[in-house]
Structure formats: C-alpha cells, structure tokens
Amino acid sequence: MNFDIALLLIQDGLTNGAIYALLALAILLVFAVTRVLYVPQGEFVAFGALTLATLQQAKVPGTAYLVAGIGAVTMLLEIAAALRARRRQGLGVSGLLYVVIPTALLGLAVWLAPRQPPLLVQVLLTLALVVPLGPMTYRLAVQPIANASVLVLLFVAVAIHYVLMGLGLVFFGAEGWRTPSFTSLRVELGPMTASGQSILVLAASAILIVLLWQFFGRTLWGKALRATAMNRTGARLVGIPTEASGRLAFTLAALFGGFSGVLIAPFTTIYYDSGFLISLKGFVGTVIGGMVSYPLAALGAVLVGLLEAFASFYASAFKEVIVFSLLIPVLLWRSLASRHVEEEHDE
C-alpha cells in the first residue's frame, strides 16, 4: 500500500466513522434514558436512505403511507387508553401528533414528490417523514412496559427491528437504491484530494453532534434527559415525566438515524434490510465507550469506520468479521477492569 491509498482509506474510514458515530450517540442516548438496547436504530437509517432515493425518482415514498398508518394505529391505542382511564385529557395533542401531522405529511409528500423539489427540500421531507416513526414506536411498543428488565426490553427492541424491517420490505420492495452524490466538488487538501461528499458528511455529523451537546447542556429538556438517564426514579420524583423523556429520546434517535441514512445513501446501495449491520457498527462504538461515555462512543465509532476501511482493502470478504472482532479486545479490557458483581432487579 502506498501513501495515497492510505490517505484514501483514511478518508473513507472517517466518512463512514462519522456516520457510525451519529448512530452510536443515538443508541447510547436511547439506552441511557430508556434502558432499551436499540437494535432497530438501523431501520431508521434504511428508511432515511430509501425515502430520499424514492423522492429522487419523483415517486411518493412508502414512509409517507407508513407514517400515516402507524400514526392511526397509535391514535387508536391512545383512544383505547383514554376510554379505559375515562379521561379525555391529552387526546387533542395525540390527535395532532398521530393523525393531523402524519396526514399532512402524507399530503405534502404526494403533492411534492412528482414536482422534483430541490435536494434540500427532499432531505427535509425525508427527515419529516422518518422522525415521527421514532416516538410512535416508543408509544406503541416500549411505553406499556417501560419498567420491564433490560432483557425484556431487548426482546422488544429485536421485535421492533423485525416489524420495521418487514414493513420496509412491504413499502420499499426488495430492490436496493443508491442516491447520486450531493456534490461533485473536489477539494485539494495538501497531498490529497478530498471529495466534497465526504467533507459534507463530516461537517454535517460534526454540526449534529455539537447541536446534541448544546441541547444536553443548555436546554431544560436536554437536562431532563440527562436526569432521567442518571436516575429514573429520582427524575420522576422531581417532576420529569419519564414517558416524555423516552419519547424524546426515540425522536432524537430517529432524527439521527434518518439523517445518517441520508448521508450514507450516496456511498453504498441500501436495501430494506441493510440497517441492521450498519447500526451494529454503531453498537460496537457504544461498547467501546462502555455504554456510558458519549465522546468515547463517538470515537469508538470512528475507529470502527477506519478499521472497516482498511479491512475492506486487505480482506474484503472478512471485513465484517474483522470489524466485529474489534469487540474482543474491548470486552477483554472492560472485563478485566470491572470487579463488582452485577445486580439485576427484574421481578
């Protein structure tokens, strides 16, 4: 390997790593706030990429119908819950969130799609269609058993992954898509030529990460999420509704997932089931961060991206094996560093 190839691989690795970092942060956020190991995070990546790809073909993306459909189911659940509790309070807000907005989005998508709007509008519409699926998923699948053990929540997460992946097949079909590059710009950076696309990904990821950091540090809701992550009971006692925290965490995760999908779509062909493997690389990042540290998780994810780039150059067939083998030294180190006996209270 010569220097040029190495630079190219580093560029590739950093680009993928930046996307994995977004996923790692989202996964960590969801785990910290709700204790759900968020396996379905990858489906939001696939949905984001496939929605954008469909919009670029001037067709109405399946996500538009999916949002309206799942929204309707969520509304039915809310009505049933309201009837049981004999309380109509909050139904108006639910109606807005789960019926009015999704229907409006569907209308917007049907109207906009054939008109081939500019790329930025397509991206915004993609995010608008993907993000509501996050809180709906939380409401439908997680909220009713939010206090169950980590193990049960993991099963629920895997089940959500299956449902969303299957729905992806129904609404997007089995075909894979790859979007054209956002920009054909190339930038001379000393000895290397960086593609504008890669720079765009790095910049966008960096901006999103800084925004998340500011959100945690500066806003009341960000602080509420951190409080819930530290101590659920304590957060509840000081008046933070843990359901709302959970919903917010899932919303942010969907945003990060959908955005990652938009970013990754020009690099690789995405199928309805591609998300699983992509999000697992985010998981490797979070494990490197010990499932607690945001900066370490992001760094770990970048490391995964770099390792993957070099692995695909040297032994492309074993790329995934090499990436996941990275877990072994990490787990070994964590295992040797920990001494206390874990306690799980789940009855």
Binding site for another protein (CB under 8 A): 37, 140-141, 144-145, 148-152, 154-156, 158-163, 165-167, 169-170, 173-174, 277, 280, 283-284, 287, 291, 317-318, 320-321, 324-325, 327-328, 331-332, 334-335, 338, 341-344, 346-347
Which of 52, 206, 196, 178 is CA-nearest to residue 121? 52
DSSP 347: -
Q: Is 244 buried (19+), middle (13-18) or exposed (0-12) by CB count in 10 A?
A: middle
Instruction: Give the three-class secondary structure for 289.
Output: coil
Map tokens 């807005």 to a residue: 96
Kindly give, in sequence order, each residue whose CB lies less than 8 Å from that of residue 332, ignoring residues fewer than 6 positions away: none
The radius of gyration of the chain's CA atoms, rounded to the nearest angstrom, is 21
Q: Is 345 buried (19+), middle (13-18) or exposed (0-12) by CB count in 10 A?
A: exposed
C-beta of residue 248 within 8 angstroms of C-beta of residue 52 = no
Q: Angle, to 10 degrees, between the axis of helix 242-264 and the axis of helix 41-56?
A: 50
C-beta of residue 273 within 8 angstroms of C-beta of residue 47 = no
C-beta of residue 127 within 8 angstroms of C-beta of residue 134 = no
Instruction: Report the distance separating Cα 244 and Cα 250, nearest Å.
Output: 10
Instruction: Report the distance separating Cα 142 and Cα 131, nearest Å.
Output: 17
